[in-house]
Amino acid sequence: MLKTEEIDRLFKAIQQYQNIVLMIHRNPDGDAMGAALSFQRLLVKLNKKVNVIAPNMFPDFLGWMKGSDEVIIATKQFKLASQLIEEAEMIVCMDFNSFSRLGTELEPLLVQSKALKVIIDHHLEPDQSFDIVCSETDTSSTCEIVFQIIKGTIYESHFDKFMAEHLYVGIVTDTGSFSYNCNRASTYDAISYLMKLEIDGEAIHRLVYDTYSENRMRLLGLCLSERLVVLPEFSASFIYLTKEDLKKYDYQTGDTEGVVNYGLSISGINITALFTERENKIRISFRSKGEFDVNAFARTHYSGGGHRNASGADSNASLDETIQIFKEALSMYKNQLNF
């Protein structure tokens, strides 16, 4: 549950501090961007100096979001990012639950910072290192939490079309266009409220989803025809991509976004994974149906984490070894997976 005391403390801190930094996680997604840009909009209206910092670049399909061009990308402007973090009186971490999701360059800066540290997030088991915790795992998205935080306060009158569009992006993308993590009436109450601010949900959907490059579409084709492995005995599937695959299709950040979900679209499959071979590690995404907990699965077998039905991890083993670990882990859950 979002605690009203924490929301009160958050707004008291906002009144108190002038210089605020909003941080989002590595590989920013629609939820992180939507949450930070809408919250920034509120804080700017309250005459705060507020910057959004992302560890690395957001995908192109979010480039239309107003204010995205002012997000400070640490890989491009590290000096500026570190200076802003150092000067900040208050740092709000949005859509991630531990400093480690910032990557090795920014993490120490956050740890050293004397700023008041706030988390606004919906991932399981947030770090204990935050001063103010606005975390609720039983919700669609961080954007929905930002909505809940503001709604019902004296700041509610600041909601505008700009904020509504951005919050809508986060809810749509974190629920896969209302196909998972979306069985709560509160999500639709929020959507209904945002719609009344005259946003064009259909246009936003097109801007976010109908943006494939030819290479990205062909990479998806490769994934489905050549790189998909189905393991019916475990109700499991996985897709893998090698470095060479990514190179061949001129991989751009975000090109594998959503690919993992196809493995779960097969009838009778209850867990799936996407293994992507990057420069010095294997990036893994997990998805599951129903009660099978891929947050616990990722934590136990790969020191990763996330949500019950969507999680991720990095592996330092080779691609083959990483896939082997997956297969061996599956055999421990055979009964839980055949539901």
Question: Where do contacts with Mn ion occur on this chain (CB under 5 A)?
Answer: 31, 95, 141-142, 174
Closest separation between CB of residue 108 and Mn ion, Å? 24
Residue number, 40 or 322, with CB nearest to Mn ion: 40
- Our CB check for Mn ion shows the closer of 31 and 165 to be 31
Which stretch of DSSP H or E encloses residue 13? helix 4-16
Provide, rounded to whole angstroms, the least separation between the CB of residue 256 and Mn ion: 17
Could you give the CA distance from residue 234 to residue 214 in angstroms, rounded to a whole number?
34
Taking alpha carbons only, the member of 149, 132, 136, 110 closest to residue 17 is 132
Q: Which is nearer to Mn ion, 96 or 251 (CB)?
A: 96
The pair of structure tokens assigned to 58 is 């957001």
Residues with Cβ within 8 Å of residue 68, at least 6 apart in sequence: 33, 37, 58, 62
DSSP state at residue 88: -
- Using CA atoms, how far apart are residues 54 and 90, in angstroms rounded to an integer? 16
Alpha-carbon gap, residue 55 to 310, rounded angstroms: 22
Hey, what are 327's tokens? 């297969």
Residue with the shortest CB distance to Mn ion: 31
Contact 298, 312 (CB under 8 A): yes
Task: Give the nearer residue to Mn ion in terms of CB position, either 92 or 241.
Answer: 92
- Least CB distance to Mn ion at residue 126 (A): 13
Q: Which is nearer to Mn ion, 24 or 84 (CB)?
A: 24
Q: Considering the complex, what minimum distance in angstroms separates the CB of residue 199 from Mn ion?
A: 19
Q: Which of 134, 151, 160, 152 lies closest to 40, judged by CA?
A: 160
Amino acid identity, residue 132? I
**Residue 32 C-beta: closest distance to Mn ion, Å:** 7
Q: Which is nearer to Mn ion, 31 or 255 (CB)?
A: 31
Rounded CA-CA distance 261/287 in Å is 7
Residue 52 CB, shortest distance to Mn ion, in Å, is 15
